Structures are given as C-alpha cells and as structure tokens.
Amino acid sequence: MKKIIPLLCLLLCTQFCFAQIDKAVTSILKFSAYKDDNVKVDSLIGYRHPISVRNEPKETIKLGQILLEQSLKRNDYLLQSYAYNMIGNGYRFLGNSAKGLAYFQKSQDLALKSENASLIAYSKNQMGNIYKDRENWMEALKLYSSGFFYANKGSNKKVKSWISMNLGAVYLNINKLDSALIYLQSAYETQNKDANLPYILLSLGSVHTKLGNLKLGNTYCFMAIETAIASQHNRQLIQAYTAMAENLLAFNQMDSCLIYSKKAIETIGNGKYFYLGIKPAKMIANIYEKSNCDSTLKYAKIFQVANDSFFSKKTNDQMQYMSDEYDFRQVELQAAMENEANHQKQNLQFALIALGIIVFIILYLLLSRSFITSTQLIEFFGVMALLMVFEFINLLLHPILEDFTNHTPVIMLLVLVCIAVILIPLHHKLEKWATNKLIKKNKEVRLANAKKTIIKLEEETS
C-alpha cells in the first residue's frame, strides 16, 4: 500500500501536466489561426504559460516540440519561430546553453524571414539571455540593443519591456548604474503585472544597493520575493533570494545573508536551474571559510560542480564556435539578399531595355507608314536597330559567357563573332524586306499625295 500511494500521486501529477500542456497547445493554436501577423505574434508572445509548464523546463520543451510539429504541418513561420523559442528556453533553464542557443538561432532565422519586427525583437532578446546567463555582457548588450531597435519598430509592448529589463540588468553588471536605472525604471512602468516583475524588482534592488541606497535596495528585493512567491515562479524566486543575499552581504549582515542564500539553494533542489546555485553557494562558502570547515566544503563543492558544469571550457568553446558560425551565416545571408536584390534590379533593367527596343521598332514601322521618309533614313534606322539588338543580346549573354568561358577573352570574342555571323545575314534579309516594303509604301504615299495635289490644283484652276 505504501508503494502504491506514491505511484498514484506520480500518475496524477503526470496526468495533470498532460492536461495543462493540451490546454496550452489548444490556446496557442487558436492564436496561430489569426490572419493578421501582428495580432498573431502579439497573442503568442503575450500568452502566459501554466505554472506546471513554467516551472518545469522539460515540460516547456515538450510543449515547444508539439507546437513545432504543428507549425511544420501548417507551414507557419511565425508559429515555428515561437516553438523554437520555447524549446530553446527549456534547454536554457536546464543549463544547456549550447543547445538553447542553437534553437534560438533557428528561431531568429525564421523571424528574419517573416520580417515581423516584434518577433525579431523577441528572438534577439532570447538569444541575448543565453549570453547574459553566461556573463558575456558585451555579446548580450549587442543582441539586446539590436532587439530594442526592432521592438521600437514593432507594436508589442511586452517585448520592449523585457528588453528594457535585460538591458538594465546588463548595465547593472558592467557598473553603468545610471543607464541600468533608466532601463529598469522603464521596464517597471510598462510591465503591466508581467510574469517577469520579480526580476525587474530584484534588479532595481541591486542597482539601488550599488548606488548606496541599501534600505531601498532591500525593499525592492523583498518585494521581488513576495511577487515571485505569489506568482509561483520558482526560477525568479531563486534569483530574488540570491539578490537579497547579495544586498545583505553588502550590509555586512552575514547571518541574514546565509539564510537567503540557503533558501536559494533549497529552492533549486536537484537538476533544473542548477547554475543559479553558483552565486549563493559561493557566498555561503566564503562566509563559512573561517568558521565552519564542514559547511565550507559542502557549499564549495556545490559551487564548484555548478560552476564547472555551466562554465566548462568545452561549453565555452562550443558557444564561441556557434556564435562565430552564426555571425558568418548572417554575413552570407546578407550578401545573398543584396545579390538577389541586384539580380532583380538587373532583370528589371533588361526588361525595360527589351520593351524600349520593341516600342522603338513598332513606332518606327508605324511612323514610316504614316509619313514620307527617305530611303537613307530607313537604312540608318535599320542599322541602329541591328546594333541595339546585338548589344542587348551581348548584355544578356555576357554573365553566362563569363562563367562558361571562365573569363577567357579569346573564347568570349569567338562566341560574340559567331553571334554576329548569325545576326548580320539575318539582319540583311530583314533590312532588305523592310526597306523594300517601306520604300514601296513611301512611293504609294507620295503618289497619293501627288494625285491629291493635282486634283486640288485642277479644282482651283477651274
């Protein structure tokens, strides 16, 4: 009986999680049916995931995978980008930065393809989070700044608030406190009871503590803890406990610092969010260093394992490789887009030239039939038409000839001569036919005009 009860509890929890995921999938797929891309993106980004999904990274990944499968069936780039973001978030929360970044990069590629400013901003924000977690402040700042640019182009206020929050956190960590305060205050004023409110509050607390406003700093951190508990947001509760511990350490209140650091470690538990234990474990180990050898070793080990796992050389090298590869791919993509734009521009010019030649020939034939034209003028325009056609063919074939002949001038000259050999006899035949026709027509026009003149003179004489 004792073994059956835990099994039943586990089964009930599993069923509950599945029910929550099904509910989330149903809601999100409704949003994806919206025809207006901006409304769809705003609904997707604004959706608040169930607590069971939000606090379980593996469930977040599972939900993202279901949405990804649906998006591929529907060929929906917006939903696909959102799904990749969800999966990336799940791996990020599990501490797998490299895998999270890989999914965020896929999301960013699709967001750029969709050209939706809010979705691009959202994807850049998610990529920036990876680098912020790893304390690569410059790379995070670059991505957040780019995201902020796109957020201002879009209409989604949540994305702008999140990026402001993250920019504030980066400026806090590089000790640009005035900038940090501006962005965090902006995030706080625009958050509208957002799920990230605890993180905004704890960041504001840390800024004020660094500015010397210790009591205000603690007040903000305490508000962050209360808000995280009320919203049942475990990850942000860990961060809030850690921020409070850091602020109390600045007060030199070691006992209180130990209490909140241990609360952070206890909330982490095993597995998920392990990397968030690096800071509190280090604080505890440093405090115990001179007084409690056993506790020092215990928390030093927690710090060492988490730190080595998250910031390992292998992971750092992999992240650097992925970042460099992605940047190179973006350069290639930009070059390809510019090349495509130039190609389209060139095709448009060719089309206009061809249209100009056709219009010229039609006008020439029409005017030649309407007005008296000399034989020399007809022959002159005939030669001009030949030159225009020859040069147009040369323009069209030149890029192909360069590739085919590998930029060999002699072979290119021979090919152009061959084209001329075909065109010139053809032109002579057409010219002879056209000239005879036009001259004949001109003679008929002259004769008709002469008859009209004679009849008019006879009428005047009589």
* The model's pTM: 0.69
Q: Is the pLDDT of residue 282 over 80?
A: yes
Please, which residues have CB within 8 angstroms of residue 63's CB and are 6 or more apart in sequence? 21, 24, 25, 49, 53, 86
- How high is the pLDDT of residue 46? 85
Q: Is the pLDDT of residue 15 over 50?
A: no
- How high is the pLDDT of residue 185? 93
Q: Distance from CA of residue 356 to its chain's centroid? A: 41
Do both 52 and 98 map to the same domain? yes
End-to-end, the C-alpha distance of the chain in Å comes to: 136
**Domain finish residue from 65, 83, 115:** 115
Q: Is the pLDDT of residue 351 over 70?
A: no
Which residue has 């706080």 as its token pair?
188
Residue 136 lies in a domain: no
Q: Residue 403: give the domain boundaries.
A: 339-461
Residue 132 lies in a domain: no
Average pLDDT over residues 223-243: 91
Average pLDDT over residues 346-375: 62
CB atoms within 10 A of CB 406: 8
Residue 106 lies in a domain: yes
Q: Is the pLDDT of residue 432 over 70?
A: no
Please, which residues have CB within 8 angstroms of residue 190's CB and are 6 or more apart in sequence? 157, 160, 161, 164
**Domain finish residue from 67, 94, 115:** 115
Residue 324 lies in a domain: no
Do both 264 and 364 map to the same domain? no
Do both 305 and 345 map to the same domain? no
Q: Is the pLDDT of residue 13 over 60?
A: no
- How high is the pLDDT of residue 148? 94
| Higher per-residue confidence, 286 vs 302 | 286
**Domain finish residue from 62, 91, 115:** 115
Of 104-108, 252-256, 289-293, 451-455, minimum mean pLDDT range: 289-293
Q: Six-digit token pair at 338?
A: 């510019």
Which residue has 């474990």 as its token pair?
281
Residue 158 lies in a domain: no
Check if the beta carbon of residue 77 is closer than 8 Å to that of residue 47: no
What number of residues does the chain have?
462
Do both 348 and 407 map to the same domain? yes
Do both 296 and 345 map to the same domain? no
Do both 306 and 343 map to the same domain? no
Rg of the Cα trace of the chain?
A: 37
Number of domains, the chain: 3
Average pLDDT over residues 126-130: 93
Q: Return the CATH number at 301.
A: 1.25.40.10
Do both 54 and 100 map to the same domain? yes
Do both 343 and 306 map to the same domain? no
Do both 292 and 346 map to the same domain? no
Confidence band for 461, pLDDT divided at 50, 70 and 90: confident
Do both 344 and 457 map to the same domain? yes
Q: Is the pLDDT of residue 372 over 80?
A: no
- For residue 3, give the 3-state DSSP assignment: coil
What pLDDT, in 10s, does the model give residues 149-170?
Answer: 999 998 899 999 999 999 999 9
Check if the beta carbon of residue 105 is closer than 8 Å to that of residue 325: no
- How high is the pLDDT of residue 301? 67
Residue 128 lies in a domain: no
Q: Is the pLDDT of residue 36 over 90?
A: no
Q: Distance from CA of residue 214 to its chain's centroid? A: 40
Residue 378 lies in a domain: yes
Residue 279 lies in a domain: yes
Burial 264-288 (b: 16+ CB within 10 A, else e): bbebbeeebbbbbbbbbbbbbbbbb
Task: Please name which of 78, 156, 167 lies closest in space to residue 121, comparing C-alpha atoms.
Answer: 156
Do both 305 and 365 map to the same domain? no
- How high is the pLDDT of residue 353? 67
Do both 295 and 343 map to the same domain? no
- How high is the pLDDT of residue 381? 66
Of 139-148, 287-296, 334-343, minimum mean pLDDT range: 334-343
